[in-house]
Amino acid sequence: MNTTTTHSKQAAAIVHDREDRGNKLRQRLAAVEGRGQRTRTPSLAVVSDGEGVELVTVDGRRLVDFASGVLVTNLGHRHPLFEERYRHHLGRCPLSAYNMVTPIEVEASERLLASMAASNPKAEKILWAASGSEGIQKAIWAAMAFQPDRPILAATRHGFHGKKGLAGDVTGEASPNPNVRFVSFPMRDVGDLETYERELTALSLQFSDHIALLITEPYLGAAGSFHPPHWYHELLERWCTEHHIPLIFDEVQSCHGRTGSMYAFETYGVNPDLVVVGKGVANGIPAAAVAGRADLIDMLDYGAASDTFSATPMACAAVCATLDVFESEGIVAQCQAIAPVMRRALEELAAAFPFITAVRGEGLVYGLEMQDVATAEACVLEAYRGVNGRGVHFLGPLAERVLRVSPPLIIDEATIHEACELLHTAWSRIGS
């Protein structure tokens, strides 16, 4: 099967053989929508249906979902209990309740804090946001307002916190903001604890009492799925405590079971001062939140953290419905039980294909590193093509050559084995 991509200043359309309906829709989209709307995924599936861990394209291709949107649909697609509880919680609420209060907002705030408080007593108050990057922005604002005489923003290197504003400033390894300073995050060469201690000590000596916050991801997602040893985050927490620096944990993609615990701060054994959650918090409905110390949250006065779409009734109903399913169906325990099956299956793929150079991950989030960019893109396409109309859906490669494996947490052993058998057959075509 041939796949071609055409590029021009006006349009970029991906075309697959024997996908008449999908090709027409991709071409129509390319004519009216800018490329910058989405990150590049070589397959660009045109999906019309989804149930459980399966997606269905408009041309009838059936795909095992190894992306969960972008770590969003942790409960899968059209989960029956989620759908029922979502309708129940939303009830007859208006779709917008800006500068009003709905009972479901109060319930969502209380329940989200309660889900954290048992393992992190610092989860005392909440600020809602409509997206993860907005939540990061609000967390940074709160920390800066808490100690306004501290202008320096510290961040761990290679994290992704957003594209805009302060969230963008603390992303990556260099910043246009002259007040941002980066410290190392363990990647391929982890090194020892003393190396990171010396770097943090040097930072505190250089800036003394001028550091307002330290922000980190529990694991590096967009940089290629790098998961640090537990001592790393414990070191960051000790350093922050010693220097009275709020620690912000960016759990936008790692919350709600993804790492094998409800929250990644539980996985890594730390108690951040502010935790930003998003993506899976509402199983696909746009929602995010900052939870943390009341003295930090309360630094933002009326209007300082308000926006049109934060804490809408739809978002709050989805948060409560998600928590209902996690509680009633033991979703975190399911993830813990199935995680070793996923790891073994991915390691077997790596053993079968020399072009897979590394398998990194935990819980139900893994990265398969390929030998080069071309191979990574070919793997996405061949997985999509699959076998006899049945394939596996990946997003485009992270950091150019890493495929993220992040299926809904409800995936079972049989589906993992089916998906990896499909991948074995599909990837056997690469280079042949």
Question: Is the per-residue pLDDT at 54 higher than 50?
Answer: yes
Tell which residue, 280, 366, 291, 264, has the closest CA to residue 325. 280
Average pLDDT over residues 398-404: 97
Average pLDDT over residues 115-138: 97
Domains of the chain: 3-78+331-427 (3.90.1150.10), 96-311 (3.40.640.10)
The neighbour count for residue 51, using CB atoms within 10 Å, is 12
Report field, pTM of the whole predicted structure over 0.85: yes
Q: Are strands 365-370 and 402-405 parallel, antiparallel or unpaired?
A: antiparallel
Question: Is the per-residue pLDDT at 8 higher than 80?
Answer: no
**194 alpha-carbon distance from chain centroid:** 30
Question: What's the rounded Cα separation, in Å, for the pair 67 and 365?
Answer: 9
The neighbour count for residue 414, using CB atoms within 10 Å, is 9
Tokens of 370: 């390929």
Q: How confident is the model at residue 13 (pLDDT cuts 50, 70, 90)?
A: confident
Please report the DSSP string for 385-396 in residue order: H-BTTEEEE--S
Question: Is the per-residue pLDDT at 136 higher than 60?
Answer: yes
Which SS3 state, helix, strand or coil, does residue 85 take?
helix
| The residue type at 6 | T
Work out the mean pLDDT of the chain and round it to a whole number.
Answer: 96
Say what the pLDDT of residue 369 is: 98
Of 6 and 432, more confident:
432
Q: Tell me, what DSSP letter sits at residue 345?
A: H
* Helix (H) or strand (E) segment spanning residue 241: helix 230-242
| The residue type at 318 | A
| The residue type at 423 | L
Q: How confident is the model at residue 3 (pLDDT cuts 50, 70, 90)?
A: low
Average pLDDT over residues 364-374: 98
Say what the pLDDT of residue 4 is: 54
**pLDDT > 70 fraction of the chain, expressed in percent and rounded:** 97
Q: Which residues pair with 13 in a beta bridge?
A: 6
Q: How confident is the model at residue 432 (pLDDT cuts 50, 70, 90)?
A: low
Say what the pLDDT of residue 11 is: 47
- The answer to whether 380 and 403 are in contact (CB under 8 A) is yes
Label residue 18 left, alpha or beta by phi (over 0 means left) and psi (-120 to 50 means alpha): left
**pLDDT > 90 fraction of the chain, expressed in percent and rounded:** 97
The neighbour count for residue 110, using CB atoms within 10 Å, is 12
Say what the pLDDT of residue 251 is: 98
Estimate the share of the chain in helix, then strand, then coil, as percent rounded to the nearest 5.
40, 20, 40
Say what the pLDDT of residue 12 is: 64
Q: How confident is the model at residue 282 (pLDDT cuts 50, 70, 90)?
A: very high
Question: What's the rounded Cα separation, in Å, for the pair 271 and 119?
Answer: 8
